[in-house]
């Protein structure tokens, strides 16, 4: 979701219409919104995000850690996940401060009942560390470069989706 879409008065109505026209298959679909976009006019965005979530969408705050989140609002947002910005992931094996930030974001998310997605994972060392920290989902070139839709179908047919990205294999005990 873009900030422009959230500001549109008919955004929720348009989304409902799209679901109706396409057969209403929102279950399993993720909607992402950047941290800075959701925190802009946060009081106005909360009811809209609630409506999106009630339609069955999974909502993730993207690029978490790069914006200016108010922790008091974070606990009120109707979201399912936080996506840790790749800038922290890239540096976490070399800079203790980045590792501390990643660890803190994962702990915070879990304490709020949210799952965690790590973006920009390129090295097995990063993936192993994230699994140790109980990060549920891992994205990045370590597993696959960004693909067009036609190639994604082929990837599923090869059964190459890593366990850490399979939602049915999420970490237990959050």
Token pair, residue 34, equals: 């950047």
The alpha carbons of the chain give a radius of gyration, in whole angstroms, of 17
Structure confidence by residue, pLDDT tens digits, 89-144: 999 999 999 999 999 999 999 999 999 999 999 999 999 999 999 999 999 999 88
The domains located in the chain, with CATH, are 3-169 (3.20.20.450)
Q: How far apart are the first and last CA of the chain?
A: 27
Q: Which residues pair with 116 in a beta bridge?
A: 82
Of residues 25 and 134, more confidence is placed in: 134
The pLDDT assigned to 158 comes to 63
pLDDT in tens, 147-171: 888 887 776 676 555 554 444 444 3
- Local confidence band at 64 (pLDDT 50, 70, 90 cut-offs): confident
3-class SS of residue 118 = strand
Distance CA 38, CA 95 (A): 29
- Any bridge partners for residue 117, and if so which? 83, 137
């Amino acid at each position: 979701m873009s900030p422009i879409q959230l500001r549109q008065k008919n955004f929720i109505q348009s989304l409902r219409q799209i679901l109706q026209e396409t057969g209403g298959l929102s279950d399993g679909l993720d909607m992402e919104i950047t941290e800075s976009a959701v925190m802009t006019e946060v009081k106005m965005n909360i009811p809209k995000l609630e409506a999106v979530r009630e339609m069955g969408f999974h909502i993730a705050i993207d690029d978490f850690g790069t914006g200016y989140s108010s922790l008091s609002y974070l606990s009120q947002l109707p979201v399912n996940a936080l996506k840790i910005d790749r800038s922290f992931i890239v540096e976490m094996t070399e800079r203790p401060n980045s590792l501390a930030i990643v660890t803190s974001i994962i702990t915070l998310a879990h304490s709020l009942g949210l799952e965690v997605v790590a973006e920009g994972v390129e090295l097995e060392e990063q993936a192993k560390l994230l699994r140790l920290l109980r990060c549920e989902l891992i994205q990045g070139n370590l597993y696959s470069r960004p693909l067009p839709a036609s190639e994604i179908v082929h990837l599923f047919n090869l059964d190459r989706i890593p366990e850490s990205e399979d939602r049915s294999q999420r970490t237990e005990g959050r």
